[in-house]
Chains A and B, each alone.
Chain A
Amino acid sequence: MKPDGAKVVLEVQNLKKYYPISAGLLRREVGQVKAVDDISFSIPPRMTLGLVGESGCGKTTAAHTIMRGLEPTSGKVIFHHQQLGAIDLATADRDTLFQARRNMQMVFQDPQSSLNPRMTLLDIIGEPLEIYNIAKGSELVDRVAQLLKRVGLRPEYMRRFPHAFSGGQRQRIGIARALALNPQFIVADEPTSALDVSIQAQTLNLLQDLQDEFSLSYLFIAHDLSVVEHISDFVAVMYVGKIVERADTRRLYHAPKHPYTEALLSSIPRPDPAIQKKRVAIRGELPNPANPPKGCAFHPRCPYAEAICREEEPPLQEIESGHVAACHFADRLALRGVNEF
């Protein structure tokens, strides 16, 4: 049990990450890109929150800001550490961050570029154990062997370099490294997007098994809506830096409350030629985050937009218990779920 008896592992509160836009000879600040603009959510222990959105929506920036790889502009990221209790990662000092990071790890999209090609698997997976003075020498080798076995790789391979492995195997190496310190919380940023279809299923199964075995909580970032549905307990949808809808997975997919979620669900090519789809016609493309539309950022593409949508930005409000959406008409629109197209 956690010392402070927390019901959540991670609470993100009003997190913002703005980048300045500078111009002119003196590089004066003329505006801001609101890459992450006031997002809030929490993740209970052993649960998975899926974060979906199209490229440029800010989901990866959000992940890096949560891990404090990027300095947040404002907001709180409360991490309920098993030993240290609640820590606000957004303001924590170096030493506290160092301790906190032992319990939170990251798995990246491209195992090609996220593994150092000059390091052997032993170095890659053993590095965190050395940094935290957990193991060295033969103990370290034993621990790395165990980790390799756990992710389905042969321990004999630990003196090889990453280039000797396929994409799916490299992703297992990245997962083994993330597991090395026995963390509570893992951020997985598009972990299966670069993998082949037949390897994707193996990797998703592995992540689920590890979650059960090590009581992990995941923040799972992906653009593939079927993968996110499969692995997530809750899902948050991002659009131009903001969360526009958040609910448990079933309700979000079967009874969406935001027109953007409906449009996403409607756009997925379905592996069934018998389905004659009646798509929601969605116009245009993602707006430039440096210059988002006034009012609701989705209004130029929204089939239901009215005058108010062009003027006033809708607040994120609770439509039903545990189901929030940022749409002026969220409680009035009868949007279609994933099986109704």
Chain B
Amino acid sequence: MPPILSRISVTDMHPNLLEITDLRTHFFTEQGVVPAVDGVSLQVKRGGTLGVLGESGCGKSVTGFSILRLVRPPGEIVGGAIRYYGRETVNGEDLTALDARSEELRQLRGAEIAMIFQEPMTSLDPLFTVGNQIMEAILYHQDVSKAEAGKIAVEMLDKVRMPQPADVIKQYPHQLSGGMRQRVMIAMALSCEPQLLIADEPTTALDVTTEAQILELMRELQDELGMAIMFITHDLGVIAEMAEEVAVMYLGKVVEQSDIQSLFADPQHPYTRALMQSIPKIGQKTDGRLEAIRGMVPSPRSIPTGCPFHPRCASFIADVCNVRAPRLQETKRGHSVSCFLYEDGGGVNEA
């Protein structure tokens, strides 16, 4: 049986595929508690693309791992809910309530929610052929024979525009280039037609011409298969190209959330604005210096009080930002920001 796009009646479906509410994933290390994800709320629309933007240590990857319940000790989900409105779980089962080793979750992983990573070589087993690895997921989730699974694997490789898929299937990962390995990962992730693909920096390790090919491939496959994508990246260019909605993260928190047009046309959080100003704009060479953000991302073991960005912020308000934590509030339709500059009664009218 070839994979058939499951045609679900859209009428009575929840508009969101995934709703994360106040998620807290903390790591209990010997040096103290690291609140890697600390009160994150996100929504992924059915068939839509949510971009999660942030620098290293902001908690964007841990958020992705939390959804699949792949956070290992000393990490633990200590609060919040992850509601998933999928094929089997139409009423929005809370994934945090499931046992990470349960059969239910195993059925979701791969079949409903799949993930791809930055460095495909670390996710592929060097001892097995590409075909073997793609077939493993198909045989686990679908009731097909080995020969049929092999056929599906070739079809999937063909779908990700792999040249000579019937030959590639017999090859080992080291025989492929970085771009080809990422195509294999995508083929593997999509082999069971998931509803949600979590893509964690999938093009960061690739060269720029290969990156462009993979991004285009992902867009085409999304149109074709109708899946939703949660696209995790640090790259403002990649996010602008791929996402419809964006959440900007800093030190375990979402500091700004908006549709992509509004975020770039009217960035509101001082961190978002500073990030956009700090990158060199291609095609607009000036002799001047870049507008750097001062300081560096603090250690997650000693997160600043109040707003976590305040020690680096250009609009820092003394006795406010370092004392109280701002809340994520809507400043205009579909655009929320967590900053006292925009908060009612924040004591300033600068906004």
A and B part of one assembly: yes
For B274, what are the chain A residues with a Cβ–Cβ distance below 8 Å? 198
Instruction: Answer yes or no: A163 CB below 8 A from chain B CBs.
Output: no
Q: Are A253 and B264 in contact (CB under 8 A)?
A: no
For residue A33, CB closer than 8 A to chain B, the reply is: no
Interface bracket on B? 35 or more
User: Counting CB contacts under 8 A, is B297 at the interface?
Assistant: yes
Are A230 and B280 in contact, CB atoms less than 8 angstroms apart?
Answer: yes
Q: Is B56 an interface residue (CB 8 A)?
A: yes
A274 neighbours in B (Cβ, 8 Å): 261, 264-265
Check: A95 CB closer than 8 A to any chain B CB.
no
Which listed residue (A208, A269, A273) contacts B215, Cβ 8 A?
Answer: A269
Check if A200 is an interface residue, CB within 8 A of chain B. yes
Instruction: Count chain A residues whose beta carbon lies closer than 8 angstroms to a beta carbon of B.
Output: 46
Chain B residue at smallest Cβ distance from A254: B283
A226 CB, nearest partner CB in chain B, Å: 4
B212: which of A198, A223, A269 is its contact (CB, 8 Å)? A269
Please tell me which one of the listed residues A55, A253, A264, A271 contacts residue B236 in the complex, with CB atoms under 8 A apart. A271
Which of A166, A198, A267, A285 interacts with B208 by CB under 8 Å? A267
In the bound complex, residues from chain B placing their C-beta under 8 Å from that of A267 are 208-209, 211-212
Residue B127 lies at the interface, judged by CB distance under 8 Å to chain A: no
- 8 Å CB contact of A226 from B180, B265, B281: B281
Q: Which residue in chain A gives the minimum CB-CB distance to B312?
A: A198
B241 is an interface residue with CB less than 8 A from chain A = yes
**Shortest distance between the CB of B297 and any CB in chain A (Å):** 7
Q: What A residues does B213 contact at CB under 8 A?
A: 282
Q: Digit string of B230-261 for contact with A (CB within 8 Å is 1, else 0)?
A: 00001111111100000000000000000011
The one of B241, B292, B297 in contact with A269, judged by C-beta atoms closer than 8 angstroms, is B241
Interface residues of B in 195-227 (CB under 8 A from A): 207-213, 215-216
Complex-state Cα separation, A166 to B278, whole angstroms: 19
Chain B residues close to A by CB (< 8 Å): 55-56, 177-180, 207-213, 215-216, 234-241, 260-261, 264-265, 274-276, 278-283, 285, 289-294, 296-297, 312
Chain A interface residues toward B at CB < 8 A:
54-55, 166, 168-169, 196-202, 204-205, 208-209, 223, 225-227, 229-230, 249-250, 253-254, 263-264, 266-275, 277, 279, 282, 285-286, 337-339
Closest 3 CB pairs of A and B: A269-B237, A230-B280, A267-B212
